[in-house]
Amino acid sequence: MTGYLVYFGLPVVLLSIGFPVFLILLVTSLVAVIFLADVPMETIQTYMFGSLDNFPLLAVPFFVLAGEFMAQGGIARRVIAWVMSMIGGVRGSLAVTTVAASELFGAMSHTAVGTVIAMGRMIYPSLRDNGYNDRFAVGLVASSGAIAVVIPPSIAMILYSMSAQQSAVFLFTAGILPSLLIGVVDAAYVMGYARFKGVPLAARANWVNIWITTKEASWSIGTLVVIFGGIYGGIFTPTEAAGVAVVYSVFVTMCIYREVGFADLWRILTSAAFLNSQILIIVTSAGIYSWLLTTSGIPQQIVHAMNAMQLRPWEMLLMINVGLLLAGSFLEPAPAILILTPLLLPIVVAEGVNPIHFGIIMAVNLSIGMYTPPFGLNLFTSQAVFNSPIGRIYAGVLPFVAINFATLMVITYVPSISMVLLGSRH
Amino acid sequence: MADKILRVVNALLAITRTVAAVLLVLSVIINFANIIGRYFFSVSISWAEESMLFLMVGVVFFGCGSVSWTNRHIRMDVLVNMMPTQIRKLFELLSDLVFIATAVAITIFAWPVIMDLAAFDERSQAANFPLVIPQSLIPIGLSFMAAMVAVRLLMRSRLAAPVRPAQLAAPKAPGD
């Protein structure tokens, strides 16, 4: 009982009174080492260092840095113009553009908030001008931006791969179809919405415009070629691909587009170092917490308790999904994955769920949590970007929460959507 | 006196931010050089992986001083923001004090490990780099963060006005 109070009760109390996540993990670990676990005090230092001493984790600082360059160097603008030029002549084309451009920019920048900011600033005014009401437009941008958590190569998946001891490349591969499915379902919904609301038809796509925007965006799109081509072509590891993405984005934004100068360069570097510190201090604190939790035997006890409840696998997965959705609306994906993976993974594995498939379920779920009322981070980002009342934003995202939760159920109960591309490799 | 302390803090933060940014750049350069070497010259840098990991530890713990000074660690603050100001401030103070105590405790517990690494001159396998350096970045970084938090608390109690954002001077960082 004491163990549950320390490992769960204490973090929940500290979380609700606003303690930083890394501090909650450190305090809990410290209390556990002093009062509960039969381990030497030096273990804290060893595991804190060990959790950072992990090569795949290096992809995180590189992707963060690359994302900073892309967000500030004109790449987002060109990607949006490119997608917009190709999707014309259908009702709802601008809304579909928002979904598609969010997927593309999310895959390049790996940041949900960054994607919401970029899409919000560039597409939101056009959405309003083209007959979409404020509630829908805000809901669309806030929810589409969260796709960055799922679409590979995502930082959430890298952290999960580390926490669950799974291959990051397998996770990236498994994430391709689910993220496309989310995009397709969202696109179908927004097209239906546009038809129902009688949103005016956009101009037809024309080859001249497509050619011009493609030429303009070709260097931006090259980022995807570098990342995906490098990883799936077996040329780079994900970490190396992330590093190459940094060099490539520096080259494109500074030498080709010339939208980042030397003064901006320093600002971007310090900003990326700051952001990396914010994320990775949680990783280092989660290392000791996860180890103590795992060795405490609590996850095994929970597995036994779940077995005793004789839940069918689908019931257990539904319960976990609802729990994750709640957790995701309070916590950002990175800390949620680092805290919950060591607890949930043994439970689902005992029920026969593949760890790679569960990683995708977690990522999709936590991405929905980012715009689930009342506390999803994208909601407050949208409030800052659009200056809309929070009530209107809540109303705007609710249809997307419902639709994407339904998609999550499909992804959860049809594992082949995630696993088919892995073939016999897993 | 308070101004002098703030000047020293800002100078220290400028240095640590610069070091964190430089370490990040170094890491990118080593990664890129390793790929170029492997694919174009069939030579890979044996110490690349280890050194990049050590640099990442440096980025985190040199960068965290600024995060602590600006109180911008990732947290779930929505519930706290709904509470009355006095209670919120009380929890913030509690959080800062608990952090200082935690950082001191972890530094004390880490000390024997650091001493052993130094005494036995333990080195990394590939880079033959003294492990005491990257390992000691954790207690040093935590102590520096605790010092920043302590100064921030002292400044708050001694100055009538809270520390101004310009004095905090941290880059704006987006969340995830």
The 10s digit of each residue's pLDDT in A189-246 is 999 999 898 887 777 778 888 899 899 889 988 888 888 888 878 888 888 888 999 9
| B57: pLDDT strictly greater than 90 | yes
Q: In whole angstroms, give the CA distance from residue B93 to residue B81.
A: 15
Residues facing A147 on adjacent strands: none
Domain ranges of chain B: 2-165
Q: In whole angstroms, give the CA distance from residue A169 to residue A151.
A: 13
pLDDT at A322: 92
Nearest by CB to residue A332, choosing from B92, B113, B176, is: B176
| B166: pLDDT strictly greater than 60 | no
Looking at CA atoms only, how far is residue A269 from chain B in angstroms?
A: 5
Residues of A in contact with B63 (CB under 8 A): 273-274, 276-277
| A382: pLDDT strictly greater than 50 | yes
The 10s digit of each residue's pLDDT in A128-159 is 888 888 899 999 999 988 888 888 888 889 99
Cβ–Cβ gap A52/B28 under 8 Å:
no
Per-window interface: B 126-155 vs A, CB < 8 A: 134-135, 138-139
pLDDT at B99: 97
| A250: pLDDT strictly greater than 90 | yes
Q: In whole angstroms, give the CA distance from residue B146 to residue A312.
A: 48
pLDDT at A86: 84
Task: Say if B72 is an interface residue toward chain A (CB within 8 Å).
Answer: yes
Looking at CA atoms only, how far is residue B23 from chain A in angstroms?
A: 9
Average pLDDT, chain A: 87
Task: Say if B173 is an interface residue toward chain A (CB within 8 Å).
Answer: yes
What confidence tier does A66 reach under pLDDT thresholds 50, 70, 90? confident
| B173: pLDDT strictly greater than 50 | no
pTM over 0.95: no
pLDDT at A424: 67
Q: Retrieve residue A67's tokens.
A: 């994302």
Q: Retrieve residue A31's tokens.
A: 């209390």
pLDDT at B162: 46
Percent of chain B with pLDDT over 70: 89
Per the listing, tokens 């100001």 go with B85
Q: Retrieve residue A121's tokens.
A: 């600033």
User: Residue A144 in contact with residue A98, Cβ under 8 Å?
Assistant: yes
| pLDDT (mean) for B58-63 | 96
Q: In whole angstroms, give the CA distance from residue A397 to residue A376.
A: 11
Q: Provide the ipTM.
A: 0.89
Q: Retrieve residue A337's tokens.
A: 């994955």
| A21: pLDDT strictly greater than 80 | yes
Cβ–Cβ gap B21/A270 under 8 Å:
yes
Residues of B in contact with A71 (CB under 8 A): 174
Looking at CA atoms only, how far is residue A372 from chain B in angstroms?
A: 14
Kindly report the three-state secondary structure assignment for every residue of chain A.
CHHHHHHHHHHHHHHHCCCEHHHHHHHHHHHHHHHHCCCCCCHHHHHHHHHHCCHHHHHHHHHHHHHHHHHHCCHHHHHHHHHHHHCCCCCCHHHHHHHHHHHHHHHHHCCHHHHHHHHHHHHHHHHHHCCCCHHHHHHHHHHHHHHHHCCCCCHHHHHHHHHHCCCHHHHHHHHHHHHHHHHHHHHHHHHHHHHHHCCCCCCCCCHHHHHHHHHHHHHHHHHHHHHHHHHHCCCCCHHHHHHHHHHHHHHHHHHHCCCCCHHHHHHHHHHHHHHHHHHHHHHHHHHHHHHHHHHHCHHHHHHHHHHHCCCCHHHHHHHHHHHHHHHHHHCCHHHHHHHHHHHHHHHHHHCCCCHHHHHHHHHHHHHHHCCCCCCCHHHHHHHHHHCCCHHHHHHHHHHHHHHHHHHHHHHHHCCHHHHHHHHHHC
What confidence tier does A300 reach under pLDDT thresholds 50, 70, 90? confident
Q: Retrieve residue A283's tokens.
A: 């990783």
| A262 residue type, one letter | F
Residues of A in contact with B67 (CB under 8 A): 274, 277-278, 281
The 10s digit of each residue's pLDDT in A322-367 is 989 988 887 778 888 988 898 899 889 988 899 999 999 999 999 9
Percent of chain A with pLDDT over 70: 99
φ and ψ of B130, to 5 deg: -60, 120
What confidence tier does B176 reach under pLDDT thresholds 50, 70, 90? very low
φ and ψ of A374, to 5 deg: -95, -10
The 10s digit of each residue's pLDDT in A309-328 is 888 888 999 999 998 998 88
Cβ–Cβ gap B53/A53 under 8 Å:
yes
Cβ–Cβ gap A274/B17 under 8 Å:
yes
Closest-CA residue of chain A to B57 = A52
pLDDT at A339: 85
| More confidently predicted of B162 and A298 | A298
Q: In whole angstroms, give the CA distance from residue B151 to residue B158.
A: 10
φ and ψ of B124, to 5 deg: -70, 155
Residues facing A398 on adjacent strands: none
Looking at CA atoms only, how far is residue B38 from chain A in angstroms?
A: 10
| pLDDT (mean) for A110-137 | 81
Q: Retrieve residue B10's tokens.
A: 């800002």
User: Residue A115 in contact with residue A102, Cβ under 8 Å?
Assistant: yes
| B168: pLDDT strictly greater than 60 | no
Q: CA geometry: angle at B150 spanning B144 and B153, to 5°?
A: 145
Cβ–Cβ gap A280/B56 under 8 Å:
yes
Residues 6+ away with beta carbon under 8 Å from A28:
A6, A7, A10, A11, A14, A289
Average pLDDT, chain B: 87
What confidence tier does B157 reach under pLDDT thresholds 50, 70, 90? low
Cβ–Cβ gap A270/B113 under 8 Å:
no
Q: In whole angstroms, give the CA distance from residue A183 to residue A190.
A: 11
The 10s digit of each residue's pLDDT in B67-122 is 999 998 888 777 888 889 999 999 999 999 999 999 999 999 999 999 999 999 99
Kindly report the three-state secondary structure assignment for every residue of B56-121.
HHHHHHHHHHHHHHCCCCCECCHHHHCCCHHHHHHHHHHHHHHHHHHHHHHHHHHHHHHHHHHHCC
